[in-house]
A and B are shown apart, each in its own frame.
Chain A
Amino acid sequence: MRIACPFCGERENGEFTYLGDASPERPNFAVDGRESPDRVEDAFYDYVYLRDNVAGVMREYWYHGGGCRSWLVAERNTVTHEFISVTAAPGAGAASAVRAGE
């Protein structure tokens, strides 16, 4: 399996570390105590523990530790290991730089 880093080009996957599914979003509740604890608990349970675990195309986080040390988001087929796209993770240093036109 080779991963095409948008900054470094195609490298073998031993240079990368995997974080996991990029889809779950951290729940964001106002800290005013008005949200029901059950809803908060449900949302965090879902975020921390439950996964779609798709057999097919999945969005996932990879870290290019053996290269540019950027966080990346890849679309990859979990059945064939084929990569559909690899882009800089939103918010990561290099990604903000690209957005800023640097």
Chain B
Amino acid sequence: MKYSIFSLARAALSGHKGWTRAWRDPAPKSRYDVVIIGGGGHGLATAYFLAHEYGIRNVAVLEKGWIGSGNAGRNTTIIRSNYGLPGNTGFYELSMKLWERMEQDLNYNTMVSQRGIINLYHSDAQRDAFARRGNTMRINGIDAELLNAVQIRKELPFLNYDNARFPIMGGLLQRRAGTARHDAVIWGYARAASEGGVDIIQNCEVTGFVRDANGKVTGVETTRGRIGAGKVGMAVAGSSSRVAAMAGLRLPIESHVLQAFVSEAIKPLIPGVITFGAGHFYVSQSDKGGLVFGGDLDGYNSYAQRGNMPVMEDVCEGGMAIMPMIGRVRMLRQWGGIMDMSMDGSPIIDKSPIDGLYLNAGWCYGGFKATPASGLVFAHLLARDEAHPEAALFRLDRFRRGAMIDEKGQGAQPNLH
């Protein structure tokens, strides 16, 4: 069904009883041209672009739980393209442009809301770093504005400007950044991919790879039987090491837990996204009124999908430092998600050393904003067997070659990226 103002009116007049399911629920076939492991945003976007951009329609997405049950459904929904390093700058801007036309492309309301992001700075050195990043963005045709404290006060009058230790000196603003409704992104891609012929198969965990005599991957073993494949693409977010290990592959990746929090709903307060530069705290307000916020990783390897108390305390302290009035607001919920933390903080989109197996991994903390571009470039790689120009630096061998994309300058220490 094509959604429009008329379909909505028709459904309203008939008591909303006529809505049909948004995507098919087929049984797995015995073979596909391309099998994607992982029904998160990246896997589904890849399938969507394979079908609609590259004409490859005999595709399956295999998801061990339900689609969107991983990080796609656990993140804080921030989208932005304020990156400073070659490789990242162009890629995330490609993603931003795809976000801007996503609702038209998918015929689905993904609630992309370009409310702006302000990264606050609190020292001269940080201002210089932000000025440099802003300049890099503008040279590349991306919007960025460096604001001083007086200008920030106009946008965000409620912040604590009198903090003696971390005074707010200004901020880097990207007005085109914002948030999107994460579940809707999943459902929108699932619906559009399914319409393009893609089989979305839930409750289907990949438990092993099928290899031929030369070691080439020719299919996967799953909890719903063996499925043959011309090519297999992995887009399993925090599970990359575990899935790659089934093919005997070790990756430059660690799995870490990141927590997120939601408060009770309050009246509209926070216009866009605000980040605290002296510690680590970021916040936005959902359409329902809850404050959505988070901060650092818990810091140690984890597959537990739940976090611990010290980070909760640290995040709340960060919030109190810039917005003391939220001390009166109750926290409603907290959860954790497991992410791939790569050795340089940047993703890996590449052929693996094993024939027939392709990697989309290492998304660290910021992979939600990458969802549309990740799908496009991974589909390109799977369809053409060559890197998309905007993903040409996300190679697996960059660590060996010393060509890291280390946005934070932390070195090979995943929990610091």
**B255 pairs with A53, CB closer than 8 A:** yes
**A80 pairs with B304, CB closer than 8 A:** yes
* B-facing residues in A22-55 (Cβ within 8 Å): 41, 45, 48-53, 55
B255 to A: closest C-beta gap in Å: 6
Asked whether B215 is an interface residue with its Cβ less than 8 Å from the other chain, the reply is no
- A45 to B403 CA separation, bound complex (whole angstroms): 13
Query: Which residues of the other chain, A, contact B301 by a CB distance below 8 angstroms?
Result: 20-21, 53, 58, 60, 78
**B308 pairs with A1, CB closer than 8 A:** yes
**B309 pairs with A50, CB closer than 8 A:** no
Among A1, A48, A53, A80, the one with the most B-chain Cβ atoms within 10 Å of its Cβ is A53
A53 in contact with B253 given A18-B415, A79-B303 (CB within 8 Å): yes
B341 to A: closest C-beta gap in Å: 9
| Closest residue on chain A to residue B400 by CB atoms | A45
Query: Which residues of the other chain, B, contact A69 by a CB distance below 8 angstroms?
Result: none
Asked whether A14 is an interface residue with its Cβ less than 8 Å from the other chain, the reply is yes
**B252 pairs with A55, CB closer than 8 A:** no
B236 to A: closest C-beta gap in Å: 12
Q: Is the interface of B mostly helix, strand, loop or mixed?
A: mixed
- A17 to B399 CA separation, bound complex (whole angstroms): 25
Asked whether B302 is an interface residue with its Cβ less than 8 Å from the other chain, the reply is yes
| Closest residue on chain B to residue A50 by CB atoms | B250
**B253 pairs with A51, CB closer than 8 A:** yes
**B310 pairs with A13, CB closer than 8 A:** yes
Q: How large is the interface on B (under 10, 10 to 19, 20 to 34, 35 or more residues)?
A: 20 to 34
Inter-chain residue pair count (beta carbon < 8 A) = 68
B38 to A: closest C-beta gap in Å: 16
Asked whether B349 is an interface residue with its Cβ less than 8 Å from the other chain, the reply is no
Asked whether A102 is an interface residue with its Cβ less than 8 Å from the other chain, the reply is no
Query: Which residues of the other chain, A, contact B309 by a CB distance below 8 angstroms?
Result: 12, 14
Query: Which residues of the other chain, A, contact B303 by a CB distance below 8 angstroms?
Result: 55, 78-79
Asked whether B241 is an interface residue with its Cβ less than 8 Å from the other chain, the reply is yes
Asked whether B271 is an interface residue with its Cβ less than 8 Å from the other chain, the reply is no
Asked whether B299 is an interface residue with its Cβ less than 8 Å from the other chain, the reply is yes
**A60 pairs with B300, CB closer than 8 A:** yes
- A76 to B301 CA separation, bound complex (whole angstroms): 10
Q: Is the interface of A mostly helix, strand, loop or mixed?
A: mixed
A60 to B: closest C-beta gap in Å: 7
**A51 pairs with B250, CB closer than 8 A:** yes
- A58 to B256 CA separation, bound complex (whole angstroms): 14
Query: Which residues of the other chain, A, contact B254 by a CB distance below 8 angstroms?
Result: 20-21, 51, 53
Query: Which residues of the other chain, B, contact A12 by a CB distance below 8 angstroms?
Result: 309-310
| Closest residue on chain B to residue A15 by CB atoms | B310
Q: Which of B245, B313, B399, B413 is in CB contact (< 8 Å) with A14?
A: B313
**A50 pairs with B255, CB closer than 8 A:** no
**B250 pairs with A45, CB closer than 8 A:** no
Give the 7 A-B CB pairs with smallest separation, nearest first. A14-B310, A53-B241, A49-B252, A18-B300, A49-B399, A55-B303, A50-B250
* Residues of B that sit less than 8 Å from A by CB: 241-242, 245, 250-255, 299-304, 308-310, 313, 343, 399-400, 412-415
A-B contact pairs, 28 of them (CB 8 A): A1-B308, A12-B309, A13-B308, A14-B310, A17-B299, A45-B400, A48-B399, A49-B252, A49-B399, A50-B250, A51-B250, A51-B252, A51-B254, A52-B241, A53-B241, A53-B251, A53-B253, A53-B254, A55-B242, A58-B301, A76-B300, A78-B302, A78-B303, A78-B304, A79-B303, A79-B304, A80-B304, A81-B308
